[in-house]
Amino acid sequence: MPDYPIGGYMGKILEVDLSSGRISSRRLDEKIVRDYVGGRGLGAKLFYDGLDPAVEPLSKDNVLVFATGPLTGTKTPASGRFTVSYKSPLSGTIGNSNSGGQWGVVFKKCGYDALVVRGKSPKPVYISIKDNEVAIHPAGVFWGMNMHVLTDKLIEKHGKGFKVLGIGQAGENKVRFAAIINDKHRALGRGGPGAVMGSKNLKAIIVNGSQQINIARPDMLKQGINQAEKMMKAMAVTSTGLGELGTAGLVQLIYEHDMLPHNNFQDVKHAISNVKAITGEAIRDTILKRKKACFNCAISCTRGTEVDGKPGEGPEYETVVMMGANLGIYDLKTITRANYLCNEYGIDTISLGGTVAAAMELYENGFITKKDTDGLELKFGNGKILLPLIEMIALRKGIGDKLAEGSFRLAKAFGHPELAMVVKGLEIPAYDPRATISQTLGYVTSNRGACHLQGGYSVLLGFFGGAKEVDRFLLTTVPGHVAFQQDAGAISDYAGTCRFTAFAFGGNELSRIFSGVMGIELTEHDLETVSERIHTLERLFNVKAGFGRADDSLPERFFTETIYTGGKDRLIDREKHLKALLDTYYELRGWDENGVPKKETLKKFKI
């Protein structure tokens, strides 16, 4: 049992400096725990304290912070999550990404709450952690391997008890939206953490831990878990929906709400027969082999699939839409193969889809020609080019080298930055902002750029809110709802639990679980305050990195081109929607009119 006064923590931070090869550990500051708890919060704090916001993301000075939460690895449902924080090479904002699987739990059981990786190794290396034994190994033989081969090889070498996290060729080649992959199929995807790892010449981190996690008040934890589990069993979406259909079960629902992007967000029109070919139902009825789950998760939303004899995982909703419908591609096998390939090369499927969509629109408008593409017909609907293009991106071959820079840099390079569907350089996920005003506000105020989850996942409010439903076109009161949703969602990110549990239970149950694990009384309000603090700190980092109000915006398309949704033609009105909502949102957050956190706000949150 760890010698630490707060339950749920191992009490130590592991630090590895790849430039010097120095490995050290230090005690986790209790004050940080109380203010930032863990996961995304702990990551943000350690990252903020240790990094100059002006740093070049792909330089040796960027930092990677892997952090678990106090609930990670406990009996709390779906508590296998951990976060990595970094400065994003895609957006230049603070980056953080969250993943499930088993790696986070096993890392924590090595006796650490976080791992901070600094510097740059002169040669490819990987880190092994077996309980308290930490070592840096040469990774020359592994360099160039994809994540599947790498995982098998490392386990073969070190033994079955190890869990592998690493990068494929995309990370090595510093593709700006390269993901870190753990447990072969789970991705720390958004914002390019794989590229940061690649820039450090760090191929993998393998872990094998056996230590116990200290629970301060088991009875209270049990109460909280009982209540949470009851609610998960009672809610159709957590008891049946996600397990039966995976997240792609949302495809038809989102389509019916005229929100499913098409051809780089040009419209939301699709033939229903096409849509039906890529739904969660279609996955279940054709390629699904078995449902899979992350650590201690009864929801089991993960799809264990097989295409043409090749097994893999996925696709999820975002992948199906961003690498399918938004490219005019409705062939499930092609999308799934593309998904497998992204997992192998280590690529974020949302940004990849968004970047390919931008390339296709550039191509269809004649801004990119066949000369640029080595003969590839980058037309919407042309599924044949998807797999070769992914390889070209991962290996930075031909036009792939340009696409590897992400849609914003790509579109700008060809003279049409307006065709990049990004916020702060991060590709917009699979919900058209014109079809949900609340999601728009979420996209523009998410600290890592356009993110449905860190934007508060307002789609959830609009469709699954139940008693808490907020109409997706409502203007009044929306800033408050979005801020609340962002904060409520962040609780999972710093707890170490999966956001999908929020379909069934929330802060109320979590506060009991937190208190049971940590032995510190934490009310729902306390938890929300931690979230607010984290959101403000992340914003502060972005402000120092040069972001301001002008960056809290959408691509021009959404202000000038209408889509038919919610019974009429709609777009985002710059004044009436964006300006008005931002004004109120900033006010609620305690930020000034430029979106800079005010002094008193920093004081309030002890930043």
Partner 1 sequence: MPKETYCDLFRYVGEAALALHMENSHSGNISMMENLPGISEPALYITKTGSKLGHLRPRDICSPGLEKITYGVFQASSETNIHRGILKNARSAMHAHPLTATLLSFNNDSIKPIDKLGAYHLGEIPVARFEYPVGSQEMVEKIPPLLKKHKAMIVKTHGAFARGSSIKEVFYNLSLLEYSARVLFFAEILGVNAGKIQSRISAQLKKSYPGIPPDYTDRLDGHYETDDREILRQFEETCQDIFYLELSPFHTGSASVRDGKTMLYAPKASTPKGLPGPIFRIPLEQKASGRDAACGVSSTDKSLEIHRAIYANSRVNAVIHTLSSHAMAQAFQAIAQGSDRIIPADAEGGYLYPAIPVLDSNPRTDELVRQVVKYKMAAVKGEGIWSGGNTLGHTLHHPSSAKNICYFRNHLTMMHRMGMGPDVRALEDENGRSW
Percent helix / strand / coil, the chain, rounded to 5: 45, 15, 40
Number of H helices, E strands in the chain: 27, 19
Residue ranges with strand state E in 48-166? 64-68, 82-87, 94-99, 114-118, 125-130, 133-138, 163-166
Site for ligand SF4 in 85-104 (CB under 6 A): 100
**Minimum distance of ligand SF4 from residue 190's CB (angstroms):** 15
C-alpha distance from residue 201 to each of 58, 120, 153, 174 (Å): 11, 6, 18, 10
Binding of residue 240 to partner 1 (CB under 8 A): yes
What is residue 24's DSSP assignment? E
Residue 315: cis peptide before it, omega within 30 degrees of 0? yes
Tokens 């990049």 appear where? 420
Running DSSP on this structure, what letter comes out for residue 592? -
Which residues lie below 8 Å from residue 47, measured CB to CB, with a gap of 6+?
63, 65, 85, 86, 87, 94, 541
**Smallest gap from residue 513 Cβ to ligand SF4 (A):** 15
Q: Check binding of 252 to partner 1 (CB under 8 A).
A: yes
Q: 253 near 107, Cβ under 8 Å?
A: no
With CB under 5 to 8 Å by kind, the binding choice for 249 among partner 1, ligand SF4, none is partner 1
The binder of partner 1 chosen from 233, 333, 525, 603 (CB under 8 A): 233
Among 33, 187, 197, 293, binds ligand SF4 (CB under 6 A): 293
536 vs 540: CA distance, rounded Å? 6
Q: Cβ atoms within 10 A of the Cβ of 291, count?
A: 17
**Residue 352 in contact with partner 1, rule: CB under 8 A:** no
Asked if 65 contacts 14 with a C-beta cutoff of 8 angstroms, the reply is no
Provide φ and ψ at 452, rounded to 5°.
-65, -40
Contact pick of 10, 207, 299, 504 for ligand SF4 (by CB under 6 A): 299
**2 is written with which tokens?**
């760890």
Residues 272-291 that bind partner 1 (CB under 8 A): 279-281
Among positions 228-247, residues that touch ligand SF4 (CB under 6 A) are: 242
Q: Which does 297 bind (CB under 5 to 8 A by kind): ligand SF4, partner 1, none?
A: ligand SF4
Scanning 117-125, 196-204, 466-474, 544-552 for contacts with partner 1 by CB under 8 A, the matching segment is 466-474
Interacting residue with partner 1 among 3, 273, 467, 575 (CB under 8 A): 467
- Contact range with ligand SF4 by CB under 6 A, out of 300-308, 351-359, 384-392, 569-577: 300-308
Could you tell me which stretch among 265-273, 296-304, 361-369, 468-476 binds ligand SF4 (CB under 6 A)? 296-304
Binder of partner 1 out of 469, 569, 573, 592 (CB under 8 A): 469
Choose between 46 and 248: whose C-beta lies nearer to ligand SF4. 248
Partner in contact with 498, chosen from ligand SF4, partner 1, none, beta carbon below 5 to 8 Å by kind: ligand SF4
Q: Work out whether 300 is an interface residue with ligand SF4 (CB under 6 A).
A: yes
Using the rule CB under 8 A, which residue among 466, 480, 546, 548 binds partner 1? Answer: 466
- Beta strand 180-182 pairing with 163-166: antiparallel
Question: Closest distance between partner 1 and the C-beta of residue 563, in Å?
Answer: 18
Q: Which residues contribute to the site for partner 1 (CB under 8 A)?
A: 230, 233-237, 239-241, 244-245, 249-253, 279-281, 463-469
Q: Which residues contribute to the site for ligand SF4 (CB under 6 A)?
A: 78, 100, 242, 293-294, 297, 299-302, 498, 500
